Amino acid sequence: MRVLVTGGAGFLGQALCRGLLAQGHTVLSTQRRRSAALDAMGIEQRLGDLADAAQVMRALDGVEAVFHNAAKAGHWGSEQSYVDANVTGTANVLAACRAQGIRHLVYTSTPSVAHNGRAPCEGGNEIDTPYAPAFKAPYPRTKQIAEKAVLAANGTPVAGGGVLATVALRPRLIWGPGDTNLLPRLVERARAGRLRFIAGGHNRMDTSFVDNAADAHLRAFAALEPGSACAGKAYFISNGEPQPVREIVNGLLVAAGEPRVEASVPFAVAYAAGALCEVLWHTLPLQGEPPMTRFVAEQLATPHWYDLSAAKRDFGYAPQVSVAEGLQRLARWWREPR
């Protein structure tokens, strides 16, 4: 099958591309800039901006299925930039699927669409954990809008006959070999002495080893058909091994050959600092991301881990790589010359 991955040059995107190639699919990718890594895989790249409907239509030409993985992530940026990438981009992908007669769409969402501030989620499932009613950052707000649009598109007619089948996966905090974002930033902050836990970092959270996150997408794709158990639904995805934040962070740092971090600040201090940073970054010409926001403070201080039973039941997902094994793989990759 000819399968297109949006954002195929990214961290999870490359893992999806590798997995699809291993299954014998013809894989294409669309993103803004050419990727040497995708060139090395022999993947056709159709460069463009998802916010441009015409470019998306061209990118999806001749495609039979789509993994819509591209998004603007992070905790800082203009509202419009998130709307363009996550809301408009997703609407354009859905429209192109319908116009091009594409019948399968796997969407990469996030648990943040259901993260309700300081309300803990411990063992929550997709039924008992509703969408959050409000957000303090544009990323989860726009991802929620996009996820709802993807699920609402399930069962809609496509050109040439038949209907579009959709599914949304919500992997939590993806990490592993190939990470050029999370681990490098943790290492940089730790070396600069700027890394602190919030309220001790004792709250438990889920994470997802990158190969497990990719495997969940591939399994959902294999099961996705009109009327199938997973069609039109969203699923939490993780390693199923919730750990305290301090153990997650220190596990990653140790894998990178760095010392453990123990310093902590109270939640009230971190939240106030985040609020102040937001004001300063909005009103002054400060560059880059602020070191703290209210959204990040709540994310790092609130327990949130999930029940994976629905993903196991509906498309056979079970984590294949444990956290311990994943950290060993990460350590080996980090030591490799680059």
Q: How far are the Cα atoms of 94, 102, 148, 166, 216 from residue 227, in angstroms, in the given order?
A: 18, 16, 18, 10, 19
Helices and strands (H, E) in the chain, number of each type: 13, 15
- CB of 123 closer than 8 Å to CB of 307: yes
Rounded to an integer, what distance in angstroms lies between the CA atom of residue 19 and that of residue 260?
Answer: 33
Single out the catalytic residue among 82, 139, 235, 317.
139
Torsions phi, psi for 82 (to 5 deg): -75, -40
Contact indicator for 34, 43 with CB cutoff of 8 Å? no
Going from the C-alpha of 300 to that of each of 13, 29, 182, 265, the distances in angstroms are 25, 33, 14, 12
Catalytic residue status for 306: no
User: Can you tell me the distance from the alpha carbon of 270 to that of 294, in angstroms, rounded to the nearest whole number?
Assistant: 8
Structure tokens at 209: 């080893």
Query: Among residues 56, 63, 8, 55, which one has the least CA distance to residue 35?
Result: 8
- Please, which residues have CB within 8 angstroms of residue 227's CB and are 6 or more apart in sequence? none
Angle subtended at Cα 42 by Cα 92 and Cα 180, rounded to the nearest 5 degrees? 70
Quick check: 158 and 97 in contact, CB under 8 A?
Answer: yes
Q: What amino acid positions are annotated as catalytic residues?
A: 139
